[in-house]
Chains A and B, each alone.
Chain A
Amino acid sequence: MKVEGFLFAGVAIFFAGIDIVYWYTSHDPTGTTALALAVALGFLVGFYLFITGRRTGMRPEDRPNADISEAAGEFGFFSPHSWWPLFTAGAVAIVAVGVVFAWWLAIIGLMCVVITALGFVLEYYRGVHQS
Protein backbone atom coordinates (compact mmCIF):
# COMPACT_ATOMS: atom_id res chain seq x y z
CA MET A 1 0.00 0.00 0.00
CA LYS A 2 3.09 2.22 0.17
CA VAL A 3 2.79 3.43 -3.42
CA GLU A 4 -0.80 4.58 -2.92
CA GLY A 5 0.17 6.21 0.35
CA PHE A 6 3.06 8.09 -1.27
CA LEU A 7 0.77 9.25 -4.10
CA PHE A 8 -1.62 10.94 -1.68
CA ALA A 9 1.18 12.18 0.56
CA GLY A 10 2.64 13.74 -2.59
CA VAL A 11 -0.68 15.49 -3.20
CA ALA A 12 -0.56 16.88 0.35
CA ILE A 13 3.06 18.08 0.04
CA PHE A 14 2.38 19.65 -3.36
CA PHE A 15 -0.63 21.61 -2.10
CA ALA A 16 1.25 22.64 1.06
CA GLY A 17 3.97 24.23 -1.06
CA ILE A 18 1.45 25.85 -3.41
CA ASP A 19 -0.56 27.15 -0.45
CA ILE A 20 2.42 29.00 1.04
CA VAL A 21 3.32 30.56 -2.32
CA TYR A 22 -0.30 31.45 -2.94
CA TRP A 23 -0.71 33.21 0.41
CA TYR A 24 2.46 35.28 0.04
CA THR A 25 1.64 36.36 -3.52
CA SER A 26 -2.09 37.07 -3.17
CA HIS A 27 -3.05 37.38 0.54
CA ASP A 28 -6.37 35.89 -0.53
CA PRO A 29 -8.06 34.06 2.37
CA THR A 30 -10.52 32.16 0.16
CA GLY A 31 -8.01 30.26 -1.95
CA THR A 32 -5.63 29.79 0.96
CA THR A 33 -8.40 28.11 2.97
CA ALA A 34 -9.34 25.85 0.06
CA LEU A 35 -5.72 24.89 -0.56
CA ALA A 36 -5.08 24.28 3.14
CA LEU A 37 -7.98 21.85 3.25
CA ALA A 38 -6.73 20.24 0.03
CA VAL A 39 -3.56 19.48 2.02
CA ALA A 40 -5.79 17.85 4.63
CA LEU A 41 -7.52 15.87 1.85
CA GLY A 42 -4.25 14.35 0.63
CA PHE A 43 -3.00 13.82 4.16
CA LEU A 44 -6.19 12.08 5.32
CA VAL A 45 -6.22 9.48 2.52
CA GLY A 46 -2.41 9.06 2.49
CA PHE A 47 -2.21 8.60 6.25
CA TYR A 48 -5.05 6.07 6.18
CA LEU A 49 -3.40 4.07 3.38
CA PHE A 50 -0.03 4.04 5.20
CA ILE A 51 -1.63 2.83 8.44
CA THR A 52 -3.74 0.21 6.68
CA GLY A 53 -0.77 -0.93 4.60
CA ARG A 54 1.28 -1.44 7.73
CA ARG A 55 -1.49 -3.54 9.26
CA THR A 56 -2.32 -5.71 6.24
CA GLY A 57 1.27 -6.20 5.07
CA MET A 58 2.34 -6.81 1.49
CA ARG A 59 -0.40 -7.56 -0.99
CA PRO A 60 0.31 -9.60 -4.14
CA GLU A 61 0.21 -6.37 -6.20
CA ASP A 62 3.01 -4.93 -4.03
CA ARG A 63 5.42 -7.77 -4.89
CA PRO A 64 7.03 -7.98 -8.36
CA ASN A 65 7.39 -11.76 -8.13
CA ALA A 66 3.76 -12.45 -7.18
CA ASP A 67 1.54 -14.74 -9.24
CA ILE A 68 -1.81 -13.61 -10.58
CA SER A 69 -3.53 -16.44 -8.77
CA GLU A 70 -2.40 -15.07 -5.39
CA ALA A 71 -4.71 -12.09 -5.83
CA ALA A 72 -7.72 -14.36 -6.38
CA GLY A 73 -10.47 -14.63 -3.80
CA GLU A 74 -13.12 -12.48 -2.28
CA PHE A 75 -13.03 -8.79 -3.01
CA GLY A 76 -16.14 -7.94 -1.06
CA PHE A 77 -19.86 -8.02 -1.30
CA PHE A 78 -21.49 -6.43 -4.33
CA SER A 79 -25.27 -6.32 -4.45
CA PRO A 80 -26.42 -8.38 -7.46
CA HIS A 81 -29.32 -6.02 -8.04
CA SER A 82 -31.38 -3.66 -5.93
CA TRP A 83 -34.28 -1.29 -6.49
CA TRP A 84 -33.61 0.70 -3.32
CA PRO A 85 -31.03 3.16 -4.72
CA LEU A 86 -33.63 4.28 -7.29
CA PHE A 87 -36.24 5.00 -4.61
CA THR A 88 -33.66 6.61 -2.30
CA ALA A 89 -32.56 8.94 -5.09
CA GLY A 90 -36.21 9.76 -5.84
CA ALA A 91 -36.83 10.59 -2.19
CA VAL A 92 -33.76 12.89 -2.10
CA ALA A 93 -35.11 14.60 -5.24
CA ILE A 94 -38.40 15.23 -3.42
CA VAL A 95 -36.45 16.87 -0.55
CA ALA A 96 -34.55 19.09 -3.01
CA VAL A 97 -37.76 20.14 -4.77
CA GLY A 98 -39.36 20.72 -1.36
CA VAL A 99 -36.54 23.03 -0.24
CA VAL A 100 -37.08 25.13 -3.37
CA PHE A 101 -40.88 25.27 -3.44
CA ALA A 102 -42.49 24.29 -0.13
CA TRP A 103 -41.13 23.12 3.21
CA TRP A 104 -44.04 20.72 3.83
CA LEU A 105 -42.94 18.79 0.73
CA ALA A 106 -39.37 18.64 2.06
CA ILE A 107 -40.64 17.15 5.34
CA ILE A 108 -42.59 14.48 3.44
CA GLY A 109 -39.46 13.87 1.34
CA LEU A 110 -37.30 13.48 4.46
CA MET A 111 -39.65 10.79 5.73
CA CYS A 112 -39.35 9.05 2.36
CA VAL A 113 -35.53 9.28 2.62
CA VAL A 114 -35.59 7.61 6.04
CA ILE A 115 -37.90 4.82 4.84
CA THR A 116 -35.97 4.15 1.61
CA ALA A 117 -32.61 4.34 3.40
CA LEU A 118 -33.92 1.77 5.89
CA GLY A 119 -34.86 -0.47 2.98
CA PHE A 120 -31.44 0.09 1.45
CA VAL A 121 -29.55 -0.72 4.65
CA LEU A 122 -31.66 -3.67 5.81
CA GLU A 123 -32.25 -5.24 2.38
CA TYR A 124 -29.94 -8.20 3.02
CA TYR A 125 -31.10 -8.75 6.59
CA ARG A 126 -34.69 -9.76 5.94
CA GLY A 127 -36.95 -11.67 3.59
CA VAL A 128 -35.72 -13.93 0.81
CA HIS A 129 -32.20 -12.45 0.70
CA GLN A 130 -31.47 -13.06 4.38
CA SER A 131 -28.12 -14.71 4.92
Chain B
Amino acid sequence: MAIMASVATATTLGKNRAHGSLTRPSIVSVGTVVWLSSELMFFAALFAIYFTIRSVNTTWPMPVSAKLHDAVKLDVPFDGAITIILVLSSVTCQLGVIAAEERRLRRSGPIFDITRWGLREWFILTLIMGAIFVGGQCLEYSKYVSDYQAGENGMTISSSPYGSIFFLATGFHALHVTGGLFAFVFLLLRLSKGRFTPEKITSTIVVSYYWHFVDVVWIGLFSTIFLIQ
Protein backbone atom coordinates (compact mmCIF):
# COMPACT_ATOMS: atom_id res chain seq x y z
CA MET B 1 0.00 0.00 0.00
CA ALA B 2 2.86 2.35 0.73
CA ILE B 3 4.06 1.94 -2.85
CA MET B 4 0.58 2.51 -4.24
CA ALA B 5 0.18 5.69 -2.22
CA SER B 6 3.38 7.17 -3.66
CA VAL B 7 2.27 6.64 -7.27
CA ALA B 8 1.18 10.03 -8.49
CA THR B 9 -2.23 10.19 -10.12
CA ALA B 10 -4.11 12.97 -11.86
CA THR B 11 -5.76 14.13 -8.66
CA THR B 12 -2.62 14.29 -6.52
CA LEU B 13 -0.47 15.96 -9.14
CA GLY B 14 -2.69 19.00 -9.50
CA LYS B 15 -1.31 21.97 -11.35
CA ASN B 16 2.28 20.89 -11.87
CA ARG B 17 1.66 17.79 -13.94
CA ALA B 18 3.72 16.94 -17.03
CA HIS B 19 6.30 19.59 -16.32
CA GLY B 20 8.69 17.43 -14.35
CA SER B 21 10.68 18.58 -11.38
CA LEU B 22 13.56 21.03 -11.55
CA THR B 23 16.23 18.33 -11.40
CA ARG B 24 14.67 16.13 -14.04
CA PRO B 25 14.06 16.92 -17.71
CA SER B 26 10.44 16.96 -18.78
CA ILE B 27 9.48 13.54 -20.13
CA VAL B 28 7.22 15.26 -22.68
CA SER B 29 10.18 17.18 -24.18
CA VAL B 30 12.53 14.19 -24.24
CA GLY B 31 9.82 12.01 -25.79
CA THR B 32 9.12 14.62 -28.45
CA VAL B 33 12.79 14.89 -29.42
CA VAL B 34 13.11 11.09 -29.67
CA TRP B 35 9.95 10.98 -31.81
CA LEU B 36 11.29 13.79 -34.03
CA SER B 37 14.49 11.81 -34.58
CA SER B 38 12.34 8.93 -35.86
CA GLU B 39 10.47 11.39 -38.10
CA LEU B 40 13.86 12.29 -39.49
CA MET B 41 14.26 8.69 -40.66
CA PHE B 42 10.84 8.90 -42.37
CA PHE B 43 12.13 11.83 -44.39
CA ALA B 44 15.40 9.95 -44.91
CA ALA B 45 13.38 7.41 -46.91
CA LEU B 46 11.94 10.19 -49.09
CA PHE B 47 15.38 11.74 -49.66
CA ALA B 48 16.74 8.29 -50.51
CA ILE B 49 13.98 7.78 -53.11
CA TYR B 50 14.82 11.14 -54.66
CA PHE B 51 18.56 10.47 -54.88
CA THR B 52 17.96 6.96 -56.21
CA ILE B 53 15.72 8.19 -59.03
CA ARG B 54 18.24 10.92 -59.73
CA SER B 55 21.17 8.49 -59.88
CA VAL B 56 19.52 6.07 -62.33
CA ASN B 57 18.50 8.78 -64.80
CA THR B 58 21.26 10.08 -67.03
CA THR B 59 19.31 13.17 -68.03
CA TRP B 60 18.36 15.33 -65.10
CA PRO B 61 15.95 16.96 -64.43
CA MET B 62 14.34 13.99 -66.13
CA PRO B 63 11.62 14.39 -68.77
CA VAL B 64 8.19 14.60 -67.26
CA SER B 65 6.62 11.93 -69.43
CA ALA B 66 7.14 9.97 -72.60
CA LYS B 67 5.15 12.44 -74.69
CA LEU B 68 6.79 15.50 -73.18
CA HIS B 69 10.52 15.53 -73.66
CA ASP B 70 11.28 18.66 -71.72
CA ALA B 71 11.75 18.71 -67.99
CA VAL B 72 9.20 20.42 -65.82
CA LYS B 73 10.02 24.02 -65.00
CA LEU B 74 9.99 24.44 -61.25
CA ASP B 75 8.81 27.81 -60.05
CA VAL B 76 11.89 28.53 -57.90
CA PRO B 77 11.21 32.22 -57.08
CA PHE B 78 7.67 31.46 -55.90
CA ASP B 79 8.86 28.53 -53.80
CA GLY B 80 11.72 30.62 -52.46
CA ALA B 81 9.20 33.22 -51.33
CA ILE B 82 7.02 30.73 -49.41
CA THR B 83 10.21 29.15 -48.00
CA ILE B 84 11.22 32.52 -46.56
CA ILE B 85 7.75 32.84 -45.01
CA LEU B 86 8.12 29.38 -43.41
CA VAL B 87 11.60 30.17 -42.05
CA LEU B 88 10.36 33.48 -40.64
CA SER B 89 7.43 31.64 -39.02
CA SER B 90 10.03 29.66 -37.06
CA VAL B 91 11.36 32.99 -35.74
CA THR B 92 7.88 34.17 -34.70
CA CYS B 93 7.28 30.76 -33.09
CA GLN B 94 10.45 31.13 -31.02
CA LEU B 95 9.43 34.67 -30.00
CA GLY B 96 6.18 33.10 -28.78
CA VAL B 97 8.14 30.57 -26.71
CA ILE B 98 10.23 33.36 -25.18
CA ALA B 99 6.99 35.15 -24.30
CA ALA B 100 5.65 31.92 -22.77
CA GLU B 101 8.76 31.45 -20.65
CA GLU B 102 8.34 35.01 -19.41
CA ARG B 103 4.70 34.10 -18.72
CA ARG B 104 3.31 36.68 -21.12
CA LEU B 105 0.20 34.92 -22.44
CA ARG B 106 -1.55 37.99 -23.87
CA ARG B 107 -0.28 41.26 -25.29
CA SER B 108 0.11 44.07 -22.79
CA GLY B 109 -0.14 46.94 -25.27
CA PRO B 110 -1.88 47.93 -28.49
CA ILE B 111 -2.01 45.28 -31.21
CA PHE B 112 0.59 46.98 -33.44
CA ASP B 113 3.18 47.19 -30.65
CA ILE B 114 4.89 43.87 -31.32
CA THR B 115 7.42 44.40 -28.54
CA ARG B 116 4.63 43.79 -26.06
CA TRP B 117 3.06 40.84 -27.80
CA GLY B 118 2.35 37.71 -25.81
CA LEU B 119 2.41 34.02 -26.66
CA ARG B 120 -1.07 34.09 -28.21
CA GLU B 121 -0.32 36.88 -30.71
CA TRP B 122 2.99 35.32 -31.80
CA PHE B 123 1.44 31.88 -32.27
CA ILE B 124 -1.52 33.23 -34.24
CA LEU B 125 0.96 35.03 -36.54
CA THR B 126 2.94 31.77 -36.89
CA LEU B 127 -0.28 29.94 -37.70
CA ILE B 128 -1.14 32.45 -40.43
CA MET B 129 2.36 32.23 -41.95
CA GLY B 130 2.25 28.42 -41.94
CA ALA B 131 -1.16 28.54 -43.61
CA ILE B 132 0.26 30.84 -46.31
CA PHE B 133 3.00 28.27 -46.94
CA VAL B 134 0.51 25.38 -47.31
CA GLY B 135 -1.74 27.53 -49.48
CA GLY B 136 1.21 28.42 -51.71
CA GLN B 137 2.08 24.76 -52.10
CA CYS B 138 -1.52 23.94 -53.06
CA LEU B 139 -1.44 26.72 -55.67
CA GLU B 140 1.78 25.34 -57.10
CA TYR B 141 0.46 21.77 -57.20
CA SER B 142 -2.68 22.85 -59.05
CA LYS B 143 -0.52 24.73 -61.56
CA TYR B 144 1.63 21.66 -62.29
CA VAL B 145 -1.39 19.38 -62.67
CA SER B 146 -3.37 21.79 -64.87
CA ASP B 147 -0.28 22.43 -67.03
CA TYR B 148 0.10 18.69 -67.50
CA GLN B 149 -3.52 18.30 -68.48
CA ALA B 150 -3.18 21.19 -70.93
CA GLY B 151 -0.29 19.36 -72.62
CA GLU B 152 2.41 21.65 -71.26
CA ASN B 153 5.37 20.93 -69.02
CA GLY B 154 3.47 20.12 -65.86
CA MET B 155 3.39 16.91 -63.89
CA THR B 156 1.11 14.72 -61.83
CA ILE B 157 1.92 12.12 -59.21
CA SER B 158 1.57 9.38 -61.82
CA SER B 159 3.07 11.14 -64.86
CA SER B 160 6.68 10.12 -64.17
CA PRO B 161 8.98 8.89 -61.39
CA TYR B 162 10.07 12.50 -60.94
CA GLY B 163 6.46 13.61 -60.50
CA SER B 164 5.90 10.81 -57.99
CA ILE B 165 8.81 11.71 -55.72
CA PHE B 166 8.21 15.45 -56.14
CA PHE B 167 4.62 15.19 -54.93
CA LEU B 168 5.40 12.51 -52.32
CA ALA B 169 8.30 14.41 -50.71
CA THR B 170 6.79 17.91 -50.80
CA GLY B 171 3.31 16.51 -50.12
CA PHE B 172 4.32 14.57 -47.01
CA HIS B 173 6.11 17.67 -45.80
CA ALA B 174 3.02 19.79 -46.46
CA LEU B 175 0.97 17.25 -44.48
CA HIS B 176 3.42 17.68 -41.59
CA VAL B 177 3.05 21.46 -41.79
CA THR B 178 -0.75 21.04 -41.80
CA GLY B 179 -0.44 18.81 -38.73
CA GLY B 180 1.62 21.55 -37.10
CA LEU B 181 -1.12 24.08 -37.89
CA PHE B 182 -3.63 21.81 -36.10
CA ALA B 183 -1.18 21.57 -33.18
CA PHE B 184 -1.15 25.39 -32.97
CA VAL B 185 -4.97 25.51 -33.02
CA PHE B 186 -5.23 22.83 -30.32
CA LEU B 187 -2.62 24.61 -28.20
CA LEU B 188 -4.39 27.97 -28.56
CA LEU B 189 -7.64 26.27 -27.50
CA ARG B 190 -5.91 24.82 -24.44
CA LEU B 191 -4.39 28.21 -23.62
CA SER B 192 -7.88 29.71 -23.65
CA LYS B 193 -8.99 27.29 -20.91
CA GLY B 194 -7.98 27.64 -17.28
CA ARG B 195 -4.81 29.13 -15.89
CA PHE B 196 -1.43 29.41 -17.65
CA THR B 197 0.08 26.34 -15.96
CA PRO B 198 3.67 25.02 -16.37
CA GLU B 199 2.38 22.07 -18.40
CA LYS B 200 1.06 24.54 -21.00
CA ILE B 201 4.53 26.07 -21.25
CA THR B 202 5.89 22.55 -21.81
CA SER B 203 3.32 21.99 -24.58
CA THR B 204 4.26 25.33 -26.12
CA ILE B 205 7.96 24.39 -26.16
CA VAL B 206 7.21 20.95 -27.59
CA VAL B 207 5.05 22.37 -30.41
CA SER B 208 7.87 24.80 -31.19
CA TYR B 209 10.34 21.88 -31.40
CA TYR B 210 8.08 20.24 -33.97
CA TRP B 211 7.69 23.47 -35.93
CA HIS B 212 11.47 24.05 -36.06
CA PHE B 213 11.94 20.43 -37.15
CA VAL B 214 9.44 20.79 -40.00
CA ASP B 215 11.16 24.03 -40.99
CA VAL B 216 14.63 22.45 -41.09
CA VAL B 217 13.32 19.48 -43.11
CA TRP B 218 11.84 21.91 -45.63
CA ILE B 219 15.17 23.75 -45.94
CA GLY B 220 16.70 20.34 -46.80
CA LEU B 221 13.95 19.47 -49.27
CA PHE B 222 13.96 22.92 -50.86
CA SER B 223 17.70 22.92 -51.41
CA THR B 224 17.61 19.38 -52.80
CA ILE B 225 14.62 19.64 -55.11
CA PHE B 226 14.66 23.31 -56.10
CA LEU B 227 18.20 24.67 -55.69
CA ILE B 228 20.53 21.75 -56.47
CA GLN B 229 17.99 19.96 -58.67
Binding site for B on A (CB under 8 A): 1, 29-34, 36-38, 40-42, 44-45, 48-49, 52-53, 56-60, 72-80, 114, 117-118, 121-122, 124-126, 129-131
Q: Is the CB of B51 within 8 A of A121?
A: no
**Top 8 closest pairs, chain A to chain B, by CB:** A77-B17, A37-B44, A29-B51, A77-B18, A125-B193, A41-B37, A33-B48, A52-B25
Summed over the interface, the residue pairs from A and B with CB atoms below 8 Å come to a total of 113
Candidates A34, A79, A129; contact of B45 at CB < 8 Å: A34
Residue in chain B with minimal CB distance to A74: B8
In terms of DSSP, what is the predominant structure of the interface of chain A? Answer: helix
Q: Is the CB of B33 within 8 A of A124?
A: no
Q: Is the CB of B47 within 8 A of A76?
A: no
Q: Is the CB of B55 within 8 A of A29?
A: yes
Residue in chain A with minimal CB distance to B9: A80
Given A76-B17, A80-B9, also A40-B23 (CB < 8 A): no
Q: Is the CB of A129 within 8 A of B34?
A: no
Which range contains the number of B residues in contact with the other chain? 35 or more
Given contacts A38-B44, A76-B19, 9 further A-B contacts (CB under 8 A): A30-B52, A41-B37, A52-B25, A56-B25, A74-B17, A74-B21, A77-B18, A78-B9, A79-B10
Contacts of A124 in B (CB 8 A): 10
Candidates A41, A72, A74, A122; contact of B189 at CB < 8 Å: A122
